């Protein structure tokens, strides 16, 4: 029995047991990862996963069950129905209505057909390019390539009957540089849904360049000065900010954005987008994990909050439509709320074709806008201090007389998700008269995420994604930096 037929059979059984609604979520996946170290294969792991999850609603009560055993698929109905007897009635529990899925590009035949030997070669090349970048790169802590394929089926009693395949690849490397006087770490990561979306050579060079840039880092005295967040640090902050855009967080009084729809909350320079349709991006899917079609949403427009992201439950509770942001941590979990591809628009922004209604040439245009750079390993090149940060000649650096370009922020994840307050360790490059002067370390920056985003005075053109979250470089007005 195929997944769709199996799901239909389970839903029928649930309805025969008196359930008012039922939903089945099935996912089959396989993963291969290769880690290189000392120019040989350090680890190779291959795994397969299968799971079925069932949600039932009976007398406004929710029941849930899952299994990893195909042979026990029929038993989860009894477990879910019995579980519903012990939950409290909830007027907002529901399953999604059927709407045609969005057309997206998320399944790459090159990933499906890649041979294990080729994955190994790419992992070894990732390490080699990093080591060959500069004689001061002494050690690779981790050089890993991981690939995954998945088949997902969602079937419910309201007409949703969807199946789709997807692929995924990541490349990650961490290196150690040493010049005889100082040691520094550097890292980079890239993710895509297709093989050609990863430039392995660039990932290796970025990591090595970042480590070299930080050699000889010194402490600085306390200072109040502008700061530039590079894309990775900006993305870390944006990830914390995204949690407060969840309607689930708002309804549970865990968001500092509650009651702010329609109000200017951050710098009017900022447009923030959640887009589940971007070709080959990690957060792209035809539907969310309840079967609601993916879409593009401008969450913050010129600094003004336009709305929150919803799944079916939170939408019904607020009397609005789901935004297609239901997300499961896996088949063992009920769907929560999460972003898809969430990013700050760069400057210049994405062309107007991506802003209005969704036209027929949307995917083609977006694919051109976010063109991949290819997966070939190319010879390493020597790059001067600051260039590997990606914004050596960026207008943001040239626009300030003094300040700090933050390359690494330690502890962003510890920011208070309710208040937005943070205190983090930072390191980066000190700027004098619009030029990189020297690396700095062991500084501390404290503040509030909303205040930080309100103080943005410039936006770079170097948008980069780290998983589902992306940002260009951001210039922040004067901040207090302590030693």
Helices assigned H by DSSP within 176-292: 200-213, 231-243, 247-251
What is the model's pLDDT at position 350?
54
Distances (CA, A) of 86 to 54, 61, 76, 97, 336: 16, 8, 16, 26, 21
3-state secondary structure of 333: coil
What is the model's pLDDT at position 374?
41
166-202 per-residue burial string, b: 16 or more CB within 10 A, e: under 16: bbbbbbbbbbbbeeeeeebbbbbbbbbbbbbbbbbbb
What is residue 461's DSSP assignment? S
3-state secondary structure of 39: coil
- Strand partners for 444: 425, 482
- pLDDT tens by residue, 164-185: 999 999 999 999 999 999 999 9
353, pLDDT greater than 90: no
Nearest to 30 by CA among 7, 50, 52, 9: 50
- pLDDT tens by residue, 446-476: 999 999 999 999 999 999 999 999 999 999 9
Q: Is the pTM higher than 0.85?
A: yes
The rounded distance, in Å, linking the Cα atoms of 23 and 158 is 9
What is the distance in angstroms between the CA of the first residue and the CA of the last residue of the chain?
64
What is the model's pLDDT at position 73?
80
Percentage, residues of the chain above pLDDT 90: 85
225 φ/ψ angles, rounded to the nearest 5 degrees: -160, 160
Could you tell me the pLDDT band of residue 118, with boundaries at 50, 70 and 90?
A: very high
The rounded distance, in Å, linking the Cα atoms of 102 and 104 is 6
Nearest to 445 by CA among 405, 473, 417: 405
């Amino acid at each position: 029995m195929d997944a769709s037929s199996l799901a239909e059979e389970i839903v029928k059984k649930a309805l025969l047991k008196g359930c008012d609604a039922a939903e089945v979520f099935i996912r089959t996946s396989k993963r291969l990862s290769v880690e290189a170290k000392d120019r040989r294969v350090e680890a190779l792991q291959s795994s397969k996963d299968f799971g079925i999850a069932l949600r039932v609603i009976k007398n406004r009560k929710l029941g849930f069950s899952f299994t990893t055993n195909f042979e026990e698929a029929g038993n989860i109905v009894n477990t879910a129905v019995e579980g519903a007897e012990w939950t409290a009635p909830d007027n907002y529990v529901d399953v999604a209505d059927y709407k045609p899925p969005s057309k997206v590009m998320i399944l790459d035949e090159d990933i499906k057909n890649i041979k294990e030997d080729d994955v190994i070669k790419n992992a070894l090349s990732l390490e080699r390019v990093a080591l060959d970048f500069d004689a001061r790169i002494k050690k690779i802590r981790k050089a890993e390539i991981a690939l995954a394929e998945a088949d997902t089926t969602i079937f419910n009693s309201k007409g949703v009957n969807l199946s789709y395949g997807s692929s995924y690849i990541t490349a990650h490397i961490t290196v150690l540089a040493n010049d005889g006087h100082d040691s520094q770490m550097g890292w980079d990561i890239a993710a895509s849904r297709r093989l050609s979306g990863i430039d392995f050579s660039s990932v290796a060079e970025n990591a090595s360049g970042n480590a070299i840039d930080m050699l000889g880092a010194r402490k600085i005295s306390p200072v109040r000065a502008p700061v530039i967040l590079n894309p990775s640090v900006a993305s870390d902050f944006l990830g914390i900010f995204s949690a407060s855009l969840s309607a689930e967080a708002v309804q549970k009084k865990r968001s500092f954005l509650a009651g702010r729809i329609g109000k200017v909350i951050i710098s009017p320079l900022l447009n923030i987008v959640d887009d589940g349709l971007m070709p080959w991006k990690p957060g792209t899917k035809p539907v969310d994990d309840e079967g609601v079609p993916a879409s593009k949403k401008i969450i913050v427009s010129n600094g003004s909050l336009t709305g929150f992201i919803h799944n079916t439950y939170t939408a019904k509770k607020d009397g609005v439509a789901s935004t297609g942001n239901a997300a499961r941590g896996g088949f063992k979990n009920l769907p929560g709320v999460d972003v898809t591809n969430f990013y700050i628009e760069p400057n210049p922004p994405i062309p107007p074709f991506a802003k209005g209604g969704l036209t027929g040439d949307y995917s083609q245009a977006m694919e051109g806008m976010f063109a991949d750079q290819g997966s070939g390993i190319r010879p390493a090149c020597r790059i001067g201090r600051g260039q590997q940060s990606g914004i050596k000649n960026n207008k943001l650096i040239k626009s300030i007389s003094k300040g700090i370009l933050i390359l690494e922020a330690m502890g962003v994840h510890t920011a208070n998700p309710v208040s937005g307050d943070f205190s983090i360790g930072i390191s980066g490059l000190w700027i004098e008269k619009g030029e990189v002067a020297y690396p700095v370390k062991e500084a501390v920056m404290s503040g509030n995420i909303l205040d930080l985003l309100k103080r943005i005075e410039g936006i770079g053109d170097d948008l980069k994604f780290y998983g589902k979250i992306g940002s260009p470089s951001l210039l922040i007005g004067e901040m207090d930096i302590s030693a």
